[in-house]
Amino acid sequence: MRRHDGPVKLTMLLCDHVALAEGKLYINGGGWSTTGPAPSPSGIAVFLEVPWVEANRKIEFKLKLLHEDGEPFTQLTPVGAMMPVEITATLEVGRPPGVPEGTALPVPLPINLPPLPLAPGQGFYWQAEINQQSKEEWRLSFRTRPLSLPSHDPSDPTSLPDF
């Protein structure tokens, strides 16, 4: 492991599915930046490197889904309220026995998401926050494919021409 006494380091990757086993992230279909237009399940592979000096302290982690203009993406809840899509967790990383002082402490987080009704042909991003602080590099951007129009069939007067 690399020595690390600075701020928490965060790495994120969009994927189709992510799992955690034996302290490692297993990523399927990782590295995409375009999805849809139909809603489909997805995942976010999150890997934190917590500084040695931050061990045994609570870390507040949050991911917010935002439209490309920075407005929160909201979804209808089962009780009929519109709520922003956010994922929150409180973490506390301990120091394993025998790990040299100053070593960064790894925290792999698999996040799997249900299909979300994202509008076609638009941009979105996941913005991470750690202890209520956010950084530009903690942003994970993606787009949805536009709806495709049916091809023009000249023998069908109701079909649309190709543009």
What does the domain layout of the chain look like in residue ranges?
A: 9-144
Question: Tokens 């990383």 identify what position?
Answer: 93
Q: What is the pLDDT of residue 86?
A: 97
Alpha carbon 64 to its chain centroid, in Å, reads 8
Nearest Cα neighbor of 10 from 43, 45, 47, 44 is: 47
The CB-side HSE value for 8 (13 A sphere, CA atoms) comes to 28
Task: Look up the pTM and report it.
Answer: 0.85
Over residues 90-118, the pLDDT tens digits come to 999 999 999 999 999 999 999 999 999 99
| Cα–Cα–Cα angle for 106, 56, 10, rounded to 5 degrees | 35
124/132 Cα distance (integer angstroms)? 21
Q: What is the rounded average pLDDT of the residues 28-47?
A: 96
CATH topology for 9-144?
A: Immunoglobulin-like (2.60.40)
132/117 Cα distance (integer angstroms)? 27
Cα Rg for the chain, rounded, in angstroms?
20
